[in-house]
Structure 1
Amino acid sequence: MVQLSSAFKISRPWQGVGPWIFGTFHVDKYPEGKPDMSPNASLAGRDIGMDMNNPSGWSMYHGDHIPGFPAHPHRGFETVSIVTKGYIDHADSTGAGARYGKGDTQWVTAGKGVSHSEMFPLVHTDKGNPLELYQLWLNLPAKNKLVPPEFVMFWDEKTPVVKKENTHGCAKATIVAGKWDNVDPLPPPKNSYAADPNNDVAVWLLQLEPHATIKVPAKNFPETERAFYVHHNNSMDPDPSIKVNIGGQWVEAGEGVRQEDTERVTVTNGPKAARVIVMQGKPIKEPVAQRGPFVMNTQAELQQAFMDYQRTQFGGWKWDSQQPVYPRETPRFADHGDGKRDYPAGEKATPQSL
């Protein structure tokens, strides 16, 4: 029988395992947008610049006009951003930029330092603009903490998906990182901790119809740490009516469970649709010093990170605004700062793809 820990309540942000520092899941039921992509709703009473409490089902976060996170720095770790609904407009201090969403994933290795903004343009003026965004923080070992920053885009159309159907329903696993049996993931940034298969890094997003079943592959090494986080489409909040059987143990939405052995794990859903995100990897086994957007090994390195950012702005900010967005009709795209531009289908998309 699979060896699992007792179920634990998912915190905010939810705790990581192995090399994963933590994760967040943003769910915002944004209203229709104005032509400038701001909310077509009153912002009165909101703490603009620090609007984080989801009043009326959505937040402005640090945005003052369009929701999102204006320019801010990172050093020493990686961000993996999975957008299942809505759009993100990305801009950074290397000159790179992107609009992504609708199932896309952006993977950023911050390395020696990058400033970036993540804004949520409300592109639809005739209907709501719901947003669902997972952002996961992955640590880097000391040898890679000062590598050049890099981002890659995993377009939804190219991201591997495994489907298993039974007489009750369908289970779908989106392969963000980590090989799933004979299905290879897309390659992460070259200096990512996930780029070395010996680190056994995986992120698998399971979407389960009622009573659907899927078998999660075995871990490759005994020291690999793995956790399953159970939730539903709208939040990570507790919901005892949503239950998933993980390796023989029932886990409710809003709870997680760690796997202690290396065996394959059978995941069977209960009577309501659910999601399970699986995160795993070998621990880095180095000291961790974190302060805000910097994750280093020592306090001295943190102090150096702050001084470097104050001195260089990690390359400077090449944009007219601290919270730039692209024209409303702009389709999904990625500029990588080196003259390379790509689109989901490998060729220029049309505005109708929004």
Structure 2
Amino acid sequence: MNTKNIELVAAPRPPHFVGDGFRVHNFIPSGFRMDMERMSPFIMLDYNSKFYFPPTDTPRGVGVHPHRGFETVTIAYKGKVAHHDSSGGGGVIGEGDVQWMTAASGVLHKEYHEEQFSKEGGDFQMVQLWINLPAKDKMSTPKYQGIKNADIKTYQLSDKLGFVEVIAGEYKGIQGIADTFTPVNMLNGRLKKGGKTDFSFPAEYNTGLLVIEGSVIVNAAETVPTDHFILFENEGETFTVEASEDAVFLVLSGAPINEPIAAQGPFVMNTREELVQAINDFNMGKFGYLED
């Protein structure tokens, strides 16, 4: 197989707040050439790098808002988040857990720091992704997958210098627990200093890597520090990652959905007419009810 080389390394952009509970750096879509089409099926990536929130009796977060046409995925690295949506989905995720909400035909949802975490305060670190749905599934029934870290299957490096968590897709024969509509690989690498492993995806898959902790050396050539995002070329299949210090990194790779994208705020459809319908349906209360 041929090497999949780095196309660019993106430094974190200045952070902004989503609600009052998520201090994020936006990588997708962005000015780094990583728009929705280039990164499909990953149409948004907000990264809440490690940030200390002081104690409060009023949980911080994002109030009730709608979504249609895609999925939201939140991966917790530090802190705890409580989620509720109008389809009945919800729960609390903590360190290492994942919540995977399929908005599809439309839901209202809200996300807040979990109550006890809010009262105690602490470091908060999360990734939130939007994953597009193909046209045939955009109006399917909403659903929610709460994935506990203990249930995520792992691949252990033979030298005991780390492991890879398989959230979705497949890695070295291990299948991820998440159910997806299109081919999506979502992997957490957790390597000790000197730990090294390789990844292989079809050349046409859109592939990226976010360094969550520490730093890594990619293809034995380029060192990439904490909080930076790597975009790979759509040529070649295989790349290597070595931890130059203890490291955590998120690998994303998926088959592009080669369909038109019409996006406005919390709605991602295929045509402008479908966007108008989504807005009208929301205004008519067809996304259900959720107390703020």
Q: TM-score, normalised by structure 1?
A: 0.70
- Looking at structure 2, the residues matched to 275 and 155 of structure 1 have their Cα atoms a distance apart, in angstroms, of 18
Of stretches 65-74 and 9-18 in structure 1, the one that deviates more from structure 2 is 9-18
- When Rg is computed on C-alpha atoms for both structures, the one with the higher figure is 1
CA contact (8 A) 1:115 1:313 kept: no
- 1:19 aligned onto 2:41: yes
- Looking at structure 2, the residues matched to 136 and 124 of structure 1 have their Cα atoms a distance apart, in angstroms, of 22
Q: How does 1:55-204 map to 2 (within 5 A)?
A: 65-124=58-117, 128-164=121-157, 166=159, 170-188=161-179, 192-194=180-182, 199=183, 201-204=184-187
> How high is the sequence identity, in percent, across the aligned residues?
28
Tell me which residue corresponds to 1:30: 53
CA deviation vs aligned residue, 1:263-296 (integer Å, no higher than 9, x gap) = 33221121x3233211111111111111111101
- Looking at structure 1, the residues matched to 97 and 157 of structure 2 have their Cα atoms a distance apart, in angstroms, of 21
Cα RMSD after superposing both structures: 2.2
Task: Give the AA of the match of 1:212.
Answer: G
CA contact (8 A) 2:206 2:256 kept: yes
- Looking at structure 1, the residues matched to 6 and 240 of structure 2 have their Cα atoms a distance apart, in angstroms, of 15
Task: Give the AA of the match of 1:280.
Answer: S
**Structure 1's 263 and 3: CA in aligned 2 closer, same or farther, altered over 3 A?**
closer
Q: TM-score, normalised by structure 2?
A: 0.83
**Structure 1's 185 and 3: CA in aligned 2 closer, same or farther, altered over 3 A?**
closer
CA deviation vs aligned residue, 1:67-121 (integer Å, no higher than 9, x gap) = 1111111000011111122211111112333122121111111101000111102
- Looking at structure 2, the residues matched to 125 and 285 of structure 1 have their Cα atoms a distance apart, in angstroms, of 42
CA deviation vs aligned residue, 1:311-339 (integer Å, no higher than 9, x gap) = 0150122x3xx1xxxxxxxxxxxxxxxxx
Displacement after TM superposition at 1:302 (Å): 1.0
Displacement after TM superposition at 1:243 (Å): 4.0
Q: How does 1:313-332 map to 2 (within 5 A)?
A: 313-317=286-290, 319=291, 322=292
- Looking at structure 2, the residues matched to 261 and 105 of structure 1 have their Cα atoms a distance apart, in angstroms, of 30
- 1:292 aligned onto 2:265: yes
- Looking at structure 2, the residues matched to 277 and 116 of structure 1 have their Cα atoms a distance apart, in angstroms, of 25
Tell me which residue corresponds to 1:256: 230
SS of structure 2 residue aligned to 1:6: strand
Tell me which residue corresponds to 1:2: 3
1:223 to 204, 216, 219: 204
**Structure 1's 249 and 230: CA in aligned 2 closer, same or farther, altered over 3 A?**
farther
CA contact (8 A) 2:104 2:138 kept: yes
Tell me which residue corresponds to 1:279: 252
CA deviation vs aligned residue, 1:116-144 (integer Å, no higher than 9, x gap) = 11110241588543222111110011111
| Runs (5+) with no aligned partner, structure 1 | 39-64, 233-241, 323-354
The alignment covers a number of residue pairs equal to 267
**Structure 1's 165 and 309: CA in aligned 2 closer, same or farther, altered over 3 A?**
same
Task: Give the AA of the match of 1:282.
Answer: A
CA deviation vs aligned residue, 1:124-179 (integer Å, no higher than 9, x gap) = 5885432221111100111111111001111111111222253xx72221211111
